[in-house]
Structure 1
């Protein structure tokens, strides 16, 4: 008997074994899973290897496995938190930003493989983007002349 593993947030994962279903007199059916970390790693590696664009649910799965908020991932990808949320809401739709989707795949696989250099590069890019934003000069024309405004 297979178990439909919707606890992952994905609709297409079925377990052939590695789980136990017990009936408790007070709580009803209880399900426990063996090695959830390994299970999620297997799901993540399968997703990363797919030759198609990830959908919103798959994108969210990888983000959650990286323990990143939508805001944090947006900062890494150079997009807004709202953009990440929009992609994830399209559960069954392909993520519109293919570059962001590919970078998430790279980040995930490098995280699993313990590649600290990749993480350092991502952190440096994020820091550089913040520094560039601080060096922008934004001006507004008002009646009494040009004035600097906040970026």
Structure 2
């Protein structure tokens, strides 16, 4: 059994799917299908029956490649509020916990609209111009992007 502590997690134990070995820097471990392991851990966290810990919330956020700033914008709070949740300085709001679980589950389940929203949240420093064109199918839009 291996205690998986990536991202500060303390409650994940691997029964298999890893190899321990010696390196020139000391003991090491390698994981079979690391991407699959991370997704499985996130799905387990998002669906667990007990509340998310601060570390678990952060792990889900990072798995989605969302910054604290992006999550703060989504939740209507500052990035410092998100940091305080993750450092256990203030309690994690139930709505934030629910939203993170739902976003991860929908994203992992292939919901393209949620994936697009997550991608949009990941791009925080851009200016968009939306160009509208009338076509035979009705009005359509295109985005022109520039980085600031």
Give the drift of 1:111.
Answer: 1.0
Corresponding residue of 1:138: none
CA deviation vs aligned residue, 1:82-108 (integer Å, no higher than 9, x gap): 1110110019x862x111111111111
Give unpaired runs (5+ residues) of structure 2: 122-148
Q: Secondary structure at the match of 1:47?
A: helix
What TM-score do you get using the length of structure 1 for normalisation?
0.71
Q: Residues 23 and 30 of structure 1 are in contact (CA less than 8 Å); yes or no, is this contact kept in structure 2?
A: yes
Give the drift of 1:115.
Answer: 0.7
Q: Which has the larger strand fraction?
A: 2
What TM-score do you get using the length of structure 2 for normalisation?
0.72
Give unpaired runs (5+ residues) of structure 1: 125-151
Q: Which has the larger helix fraction?
A: 1
Alignment of 1:59-74 (within 5 A): 59-74=57-72
Give the drift of 1:29.
Answer: 1.4
RMSD: 2.2
Give the number of the structure whose alpha-carbon radius of gyration is greater.
1
Q: Secondary structure at the match of 2:99?
A: helix
